[in-house]
Structure 1
Amino acid sequence: MPVELERIPAREKLPPLPNFKRWLLLGIVMLLAGAAATFLYWKGEHSGAAFWGLATGLPVVLWGLLIVGRYLGYVLLCRRSEKKNATTAARFQADIARGQRFAWLIGEVLINGLGPDSPTTHKAVLAKKPLMMPCEPVNGGNPVRHRALAVTGEMADREAHYLPGITAHVQNLVALLPPSLACYLAVDTGEQFLTLPSFLQKSVPHPLVRIRDLTGLELLDYWLDCHYDRAAALLVVSAQLYEHPPEDSGEAISVLLLTNCRLKNIPDVSVRVHRPQICRDGNIGRAFERIMMWSGLEKTALQQAWTSGGQMVSGDIFSKAREAHAPGLNAEKIKHIDTVAGFAGVAAPWQALQLATRQCLSDSQAQLIVTELAEDNRQLCIVTPE
């Protein structure tokens, strides 16, 4: 499950010290009450050890027992609170350690409308040069700005065309893994390429264990939680093709291979992909704080970001969160992928992650990824150099 520190109960406050003045006042009241009662109800002379013991000694003894009991209770309450706070602190530290897990990037392939391997995408987004083109909808209507893959036609024919290429890229990447290393397969394609998972499991010699029912960077979050204790790899295949493309959209196919351990010299230089933070409650400030905590970066270390989806990045909420938690990240260093290659739907988080890793390898600086798949699904992640 995702790391949610807010579920950890807050530290308990220690119980207040007994008020000495109140207890002193109680002692005086008990002494006066005991003396008055003894003087009123004592039958006989008001003298002797028995009389004065009952009049003064008994109230003092009872008062002393009450004080001892109160302080014993106070000590027990303190110990209970300290024990509970120690458990809370240990859980907090354990969750932070779990949150700071990361994956190594072994290799990636990006295919989009800018080319088969898309080295141009990286340069184009850095230059903020729009490359989308007007596209005529299949069923007619006004043209929309869209960046399609090279092959057009019926969706079934397009899927059949790209299936062998995806398989070849997957085979090349998985061949880098040791035979004994467990590899998990995550296919993030929405309603498209439905036969791709079973086809890959049959076509790739390395055994692939499929992860189901998750999308976007939630896949990486889940894998870091559930498959981190043993050496393992995560193969992600994501694809977005549009039959009826919306305005400012783009198509993309992403293939990434990650491991939770460093493979010797594969590749020679890699990057660390830190645990993502999924924001569903609109609290971008807290999500920003969490990813900075997961990456262990200083506030001034983050100086470049890659964004896709929605208008969140241009809003005041994101700006305030950025200023509070990453003051070194100015607006000029935020690269919005959609203005260049279009919004890639389910493939958008992975495309942004790939471009960020390429830049991280290029300049050895931490990179932020922010994608908005919906108003209640914003995904943030940080990539740092090895």
Structure 2
Amino acid sequence: MPVRLDKIPALAPRPAKPRIWLWLGLLPLLLLLGMGVMLLFGSQSLQQSVSFWTLGLGAPLLSWCLLCFGRALMFFGQQYAADGWDEARELDLIRKVRCGRRSQQVLGTSLFSALREPGEQGTAQSDALLSGSSALEAQPCWLDGSPVRHSRLSRLSDEDPELTLFGILEQVLAELSPALAKMPQDTPLALLLEIDSHLPQNLLSRIWRKAWSASGIRQSTVPVTGVGLDALDLWLDLRIDDHALLMVVAVQFSPTQPAGTAEVAVGLLLGNRLTQTTLPAIAYLHRPEQERGLTHEHLLYAARQALDWVPLTAQSIERLWRAGIDARREGAIAATLNAVPLPKQPKQELCDLDALLGHAGHASPWLAIVAAAQTLERGAGPQFVFSGGSTSDAGLWGTVLTPASPPSK
């Protein structure tokens, strides 16, 4: 349910003001007309009486006054209607801007990619991403063992896919559980779970339940409506006053077509700024904005609107992240970066996760968001994310993350 500021109706047309000289010129014309009618059609006796002047001058004057009153009444009526329309439009605009500028607290993050070894802290992975280290290489895939250029999560050589995926999910939940341990047990927890794998769905469900049981997280979960950033957009529309936390777990593991892909596991814990006061925020995730057509103009509008939701100028962005972007959109991305403008040239200001890790499918937007949030946690400034999804015909998203405000003393 995107907030569409470009669909706000235009201001009401204003009525033309009465032309004073026209109305002043109409008065003598009516008086001459009244006198002419009396002279032509009035009797001799009437012309010599006082009634002649009363009818000849008074009637036109009265008519002129009535016409002026009617014109003034029409003008003020139209003006009042236009004021009412503009006031309602302004209230609607304010309501939509306030809705569009809603944001979420980032309370916990977890990210596992090919750049993170088992047992290694996430800071080494962040350093590798920021320095432009690539994990894409030709290596055996899960499906048939044939060498395919892709990146994959670190694993033991003798592990089977089921055990490996269980260990990955267990580690993601282990990094989110400390934040949840500080929350009351009855805190509502909404779950957005997205796992893309060649493994059958019933097996994925069993692995997830097993990992959740092993995590020790006390809160019970309720599934979220929607997928990807659409689900976050809908949450900001409908559940901004909710006391529930939103947990996102997105995994791409052993995809059906591994060439050029990335195996990643991402965890993200979000809270509503209006209701969540127990945990300190790592960063703020602002409303994402999706392009509404696969053109440069639509992508430029989405980027500018995403910045306006903060609000923030493009010059304030310290780093740009890209993930899940089809090669055919490179021209639109480049044109948008030039027009906004966002960081694009210095290597340290641009992180192309597709080039470093490969395409992460459904997990692409969450991969970029968590990578940006972890960079903010280390003291960086505002971050901008361009992200796509698993299909090339889906519109790209623009998302801004900003540092959390310092705690009040």
TM surpasses 0.5: yes
C-alpha displacement at 1:273, in angstroms?
1.2
TM-score, with structure 1 as normaliser: 0.86
Asked whether the equivalents of residues 240 and 344 of structure 1 are also in contact (C-alpha less than 8 Å), the reply is yes
Q: Which residue does the alignment assign to 1:43?
A: 43
Asked whether the equivalents of residues 192 and 248 of structure 2 are also in contact (C-alpha less than 8 Å), the reply is yes
C-alpha displacement at 1:3, in angstroms?
1.9
Q: What letter matches 2:42 in structure 1?
A: W
The 3-state SS of whatever aligns with 1:52 is helix
Structure 2 gaps of 5+ residues are: 405-409
Q: Deviations over 1:303-359 (max 9, x none)?
A: 3111112257974544444444445x3432221111111110011111101110111
Structure 1 distance, partners of 2:324, 2:126, is: 17
Q: Deviations over 1:12-54 (max 9, x none)?
A: 2322212223333444443343333333322334343322322
Q: Which residue does the alignment assign to 1:177?
A: 183
Q: Report whether the alignment pairs 1:331 with 2:353.
A: no
Asked whether the equivalents of residues 271 and 361 of structure 1 are also in contact (C-alpha less than 8 Å), the reply is yes
Q: Which residue does the alignment assign to 1:123?
A: 127
Asked whether the equivalents of residues 302 and 326 of structure 1 are also in contact (C-alpha less than 8 Å), the reply is no
Q: Deviations over 1:50-81 (max 9, x none)?
A: 22322232122112111111112211221221
Q: Which residue does the alignment assign to 1:2?
A: 2
Q: Which residue does the alignment assign to 1:307?
A: 322
Task: For 1:333-372, list aligned pairs within 5 A.
Answer: 333-372=349-388
C-alpha displacement at 1:5, in angstroms?
1.5
The 3-state SS of whatever aligns with 1:57 is helix
The 3-state SS of whatever aligns with 1:363 is coil
TM-score, with structure 2 as normaliser: 0.82
C-alpha displacement at 1:384, in angstroms?
0.8
Question: Structure 1 residues 167, 308: closer, same or farther in 2, change over 3 A?
Answer: closer
Q: What letter matches 1:249 in structure 2?
A: T
Structure 2 distance, partners of 1:157, 1:61, is: 97
User: Bigger CA drift: 242-251 or 21-30?
Assistant: 21-30
The 3-state SS of whatever aligns with 1:370 is strand
Asked whether the equivalents of residues 146 and 245 of structure 1 are also in contact (C-alpha less than 8 Å), the reply is no
Structure 1 gaps of 5+ residues are: none
Q: Which residue does the alignment assign to 1:211?
A: 224
Q: Which residue does the alignment assign to 1:241?
A: 253
Q: Deviations over 1:144-200 (max 9, x none)?
A: 421122358986665556454455455444323233432211112357534577667
Give the root-mean-square deviation of aligned CA atoms. 3.1
Structure 2 distance, partners of 1:35, 1:376, is: 78
Q: What letter matches 1:176 in structure 2?
A: K
Q: Which residue does the alignment assign to 1:148?
A: 152
Asked whether the equivalents of residues 238 and 255 of structure 1 are also in contact (C-alpha less than 8 Å), the reply is yes
Q: Which residue does the alignment assign to 1:22?
A: 22
Q: Which residue does the alignment assign to 2:407?
A: none
Asked whether the equivalents of residues 173 and 267 of structure 2 are also in contact (C-alpha less than 8 Å), the reply is no
Q: Which residue does the alignment assign to 1:90?
A: 91
Q: Which residue does the alignment assign to 1:105?
A: 106
Q: Which residue does the alignment assign to 1:250?
A: 262
The count of corresponding residues between Structure 1 and Structure 2 is 383
Q: Which residue does the alignment assign to 1:114?
A: 115
Q: What letter matches 1:366 in structure 2?
A: P
The 3-state SS of whatever aligns with 1:130 is coil
The 3-state SS of whatever aligns with 1:217 is helix
The 3-state SS of whatever aligns with 1:234 is strand
Q: Report whether the alignment pairs 1:272 with 2:284.
A: yes
C-alpha displacement at 1:366, in angstroms?
0.4
Q: Deviations over 1:225-274 (max 9, x none)?
A: 2221143311111111243335421111111111113866745x621111
Q: What letter matches 2:13 in structure 1?
A: K
Structure 2 distance, partners of 1:344, 1:351, is: 8
The 3-state SS of whatever aligns with 2:44 is coil
Q: What letter matches 2:309 in structure 1?
A: W
Q: 1:133 aligns with which of 118, 128, 137?
A: 137
Question: Structure 1 residues 362, 166: closer, same or farther in 2, change over 3 A?
Answer: closer
C-alpha displacement at 1:142, in angstroms?
8.6
Asked whether the equivalents of residues 196 and 255 of structure 2 are also in contact (C-alpha less than 8 Å), the reply is no
Question: Structure 1 residues 158, 142: closer, same or farther in 2, change over 3 A?
Answer: closer
Q: 2:305 aligns with which of 290, 295, 305?
A: 290
Question: Structure 1 residues 167, 51: closer, same or farther in 2, change over 3 A?
Answer: same
Question: Structure 1 residues 187, 352: closer, same or farther in 2, change over 3 A?
Answer: same
Question: Structure 1 residues 61, 26: closer, same or farther in 2, change over 3 A?
Answer: same
Q: Deviations over 1:193-228 (max 9, x none)?
A: 34577667877421222213x222222222222221
State, as a whole percentage, how many aligned pairs show the same letter: 23
Structure 1 distance, partners of 2:31, 2:145, is: 97
Q: 1:281 aligns with which of 281, 286, 293?
A: 293
